[in-house]
Structure formats: C-alpha cells, structure tokens
C-alpha cells in the first residue's frame, strides 16, 4: 500500500454498500497525513500543517477516504469530529478535481450520515461549514442563519 493511501486506523475495513464507480474503493479510515494535506490543497481548501494533521486525524470520530484501486492513491476524504455524544461536525470533505463529478463525494457523505444514524444519540447536533451550495441539502442540512451564525478565528489571530 502506498504511503498516500495508508490510513491512521490499522483496523481499516471496506464498505461494500456504497456505490462508487469501478476502480474506486471507500475505506472507513482517514487518509495518511500526506494525503490529507494534498487533498485539501488540490480541492482548493486551506492547507494544514503536518503537525495539525498528525494531531488531528487520530482524534477523528469517524472518517472515510476513497482510493483509486489501481494506484492505491487517495482521491477523496471526509470525516466527523466532535465529542461523540452531543455534537458532531462534518469536516474535510474533499475530492481531487480530476475525480469530481463521479459520485465520490456523495458516497463519502452517505457513509458519514449512515454512521451518524447508527451511532449518534437522539438529540445530538450535527453541523458543517460548506463552501458549496446545494450539495449537503440532500441529506437534510439547512442553513442556520439568521437563527445562528458561524464564527471563526485562526490561531495566528489569537
């Protein structure tokens, strides 16, 4: 297995129920730190430091990534972080541009939502920050403004 596809969870298992195009496989684990950083950059997201990936990925509540089976290269990822009981945050959903439009992002979010349905306690809050319109609504996500507003700050600004 290439370093690019090696996940942070040694007990990796594959999902057979999520439909993906031939030549792709969804794995229930996060990608390697190198693949995590590459996928974020390739998808136009802010890069994260190696240290951030090394510290953050093992603290994932549930994560998936998709590999191109011929090369074992990670081409997509998505994960849930949170406290495991009352709050779950979908984050780091990214698909490499050459593979976009093939259902990879949909398969990954399907897997996250299926996991939440089985594991999140009743009344838990699930949120996400999206930079695309019209993608997450199919799973029931709705804008929360004006009732609530997302706020943020980067550590260099603290």
Q: Mind listing the pLDDT tens digit for each residue in 24-38?
A: 999 999 999 999 999
Q: Which residue has the tokens 């136009």?
A: 44
* CA gap 84, 122 in Å, rounded: 12
- For residues 91-110, b (16+ Cβ closer than 10 Å) or e, as one string? bbbbbbeebeebbbbbbbbb
In a domain, 48, yes or no: yes
Would residue 10 count as lying in a domain? no
pTM: 0.86
The Cα–Cα gap between 82 and 156 comes to 23
- The CATH code of the domain that includes 34 is 3.40.630.30
| Torsional sign, CA 115, 117, 118, 122 | positive
Residue 11 lies in a domain: no
Q: Which domain holds residue 99?
A: 24-157
pLDDT in tens, 3-26: 554 444 333 333 435 689 999 999
Per-residue tokens: 34: 């190198």
14 falls within a domain: no
Confirm whether 153 is domain-assigned.
yes
pLDDT computed for residue 15 by the predictor: 41
- Structural domain tally of the chain? 1
Compute the average pLDDT of residues 38-67.
97
């Amino acid at each position: 297995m290439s370093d690019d596809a090696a996940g942070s969870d040694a007990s990796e298992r594959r999902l057979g129920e999520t439909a993906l195009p031939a030549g792709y496989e969804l794995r229930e684990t996060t990608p390697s730190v190198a693949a995590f950083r590459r996928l974020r950059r390739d998808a136009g997201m802010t890069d994260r430091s190696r240290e951030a990936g090394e510290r953050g990925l093992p603290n994932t509540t549930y994560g998936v990534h998709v590999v191109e089976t011929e090369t074992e290269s990670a081409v997509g990822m998505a994960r849930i972080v949170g406290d495991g009981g009352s709050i779950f945050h979908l984050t780091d959903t990214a698909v490499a541009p050459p593979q976009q439009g093939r259902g990879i992002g949909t398969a990954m979010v399907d897997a996250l939502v299926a996991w939440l349905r089985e594991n999140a306690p009743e009344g838990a809050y699930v949120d996400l920050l999206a930079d695309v319109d019209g993608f997450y609504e199919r799973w029931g996500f709705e804008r929360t403004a004006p009732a609530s507003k997302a706020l943020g700050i980067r550590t260099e600004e603290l």
